[in-house]
Amino acid sequence: MSLYGRQRRAFFGMTPEDYIRRVGWNGHNGRAAVTTDTAMRHSAVWACLRLRANLISTMPVDVYRKVLGFQVEVPAPPVLVNPGGKRVKIKEWLYSSQIDLDRAGNAVGLITEKTPLGLPGRIDLQPIGECAIVPTTVSTRAPDGWWWRICGKHYYPDEVWHEKQYTIAGLPLGLSPIAYAAWTIGEYLSIQDFALDWFGNSGVPAMHLKNTAKTIKSADAQDIKDRFKASVQHGGTFVSGSDWELNLLQSENMSITWLDAKQYGVADVARFLDCPGDLIDAVVKTGHITYASVTQRNLQFLIMHLGPAVIRREDALSDLTSKPRYVKLKTDALLRMDPKARAETLKLQIDSRTLTPDEARLLDDREPLTQDQIDQFLTFWPPRGSTVEAGSGLESVQSAPQ
């Protein structure tokens, strides 16, 4: 059998958790088992998934079509307003599906309604851990030779909506970054479990009670231990002579080692999930990262990290509309500027004749200029000390006497 065939068959009948156990971490040898659900107990995993899903799900979803070469906005179909029915609106639906895309590489939903054009009218998202593909004979309803098993039931591909990311050639499912990050996440979770055992006094002895004057026999040691525990367990007082000493077995050093390991795991997870560590308050060991402005930082994040995911989502959502309509997610919300930078940008666009004053006012939710307002601007323009460039067409405008 070819490598291509082996790769395809390896996915059949596997859920994301099955795939993680196959290529990642299975919990053997005392190590913590990692799945798409348990991975979210890692604070860095939760922070990365939350940040990406929050931003993408709150971007306005607009539908356009080309008319005489110009982009014209058209009403969005119901599936892009309430995709999961009246109780599941587009923002919640985008958030849930983005979480599955980022942690499992796939998002799956059942098409429970269709439009007269045969397009999905309602998509009910399904728990990704209960979704798998199973081989079957090639037919008109299963042209690729497989169908879906979701929560124990079988569905043909035309009954299922499927979006994927992190793909490789020849495989019908997207890859899970959690599967490949499982070794790092598993190490972190194992450290967590060990730390809980340590501080809960079950991993190793929590303290050492030693008699410095004589050797204690086994029978006497158990009696002394019981008496000591009975005294201090509920905040009581243990009375002894000057020949006893109590050691806490380097618990402070253990705490430092645990915290260092946690920080290392956070940086690795941030890289796996394509989210800069400084945006989730991870420790940056190479020094502080500084940017000229918040807008510049967000622009770098959008271009290098979030932008490709946004484009893929636009393509997938465009398939839910009739052609030649297409979907765009507005990323402007991510690039909000401070008032001064915004005013300077609008002024530059107005001066370069790429934006009219009324269009600029509309961006600030202001009405177009009235004739009285225009007259006032002409009366007190240009400001004192400023000059009008020759050839600008504004030489005839006279300022009021100063």
SS3 string, 29-92, reads CCCCCCCCCHHHHCHHHHHHHHHHHHHHHCCCEEEEEEECCEEEEECCCHHHCCCCCCCCCHHH
Average pLDDT over residues 321-338: 82
Q: What letter represents residue 256's amino acid?
A: I
Phi-psi region of 112 (alpha: psi -120 to 50; beta: other; left: phi over 0): alpha
Which residue, 28, 29, 25, is CA-closest to 39? Answer: 25
CA 203 to chain centre: 34
Choice between 382 and 67, residue whose per-residue pLDDT is larger? 67
Q: Are 110 and 155 in contact (CB under 8 A)?
A: yes
> What's the whole-number average pLDDT of the chain?
75
Rounded Cα gap, residues 344 and 146, in angstroms: 56
Tokens of 391: 């050839």
Choice between 219 and 33, residue whose per-residue pLDDT is larger? 219
Rounded Cα gap, residues 385 and 285, in angstroms: 51
Q: What letter represents residue 187's amino acid?
A: E
Rounded Cα gap, residues 310 and 313, in angstroms: 5
pLDDT score, position 291:
59
pLDDT at 140 over 50: yes
Rounded Cα gap, residues 126 and 129, in angstroms: 9
Contacts of 138 (CB under 8 A, 6+ apart): 144, 145
- Could you give the dihedral angle defined by the CA atoms of residues 76, 79, 83 and 85, in that order, rounded to the nearest 10 degrees? 110
Rounded Cα gap, residues 402 and 400, in angstroms: 6
Out of 78-92, 195-209, 338-352, the most confident range is 78-92
pLDDT at 383 over 50: yes
Rounded Cα gap, residues 62 and 71, in angstroms: 11
pLDDT score, position 335:
65
- Could you give the dihedral angle defined by the CA atoms of residues 342, 346, 351 and 356, in that order, rounded to the nearest 10 degrees? -170
pLDDT at 63 over 70: yes
Q: Where are the domains of the chain?
A: 1-204+250-336, 207-247
Q: What letter represents residue 39's amino acid?
A: A
pLDDT at 12 over 90: no
Rounded Cα gap, residues 12 and 8, in angstroms: 7
- φ and ψ of 215, to 5 deg: -85, 135
Count CB neighbours of 49 within 10 A. 22
Tokens of 154: 């079988």
Count CB neighbours of 136 within 10 A. 15
Average pLDDT over residues 80-89: 92
Instruction: Of 111-120, 204-213, 300-309, 378-387, give the lowest mean pLDDT range.
Output: 204-213
Cα–Cα distances (Å) from 325 to 28, 58, 205, 307, 311, in that order, read 51, 21, 67, 21, 15
Confidence at 1, pLDDT banded by 50, 70, 90: very low
Q: What's the whole-model pTM score?
A: 0.66
Rounded Cα gap, residues 268 and 265, in angstroms: 5
pLDDT at 348 over 50: yes
Q: Are 130 and 179 in contact (CB under 8 A)?
A: no
Choice between 20 and 225, residue whose per-residue pLDDT is larger? 225
pLDDT score, position 4:
40
Out of 105-114, 267-276, 327-336, the most confident range is 105-114
pLDDT score, position 130:
85
Q: What letter represents residue 258's amino acid?
A: W
Average pLDDT over residues 366-383: 79
pLDDT score, position 321:
94
Residue located via tokens 């600029």: 360
Q: 382: cis peptide before it, omega within 30°?
A: yes
pLDDT at 25 over 50: no
Q: What percentage of the chain has pLDDT greater than the value 70?
A: 61
Strands 146-150 and 153-155, sheet pairing: antiparallel
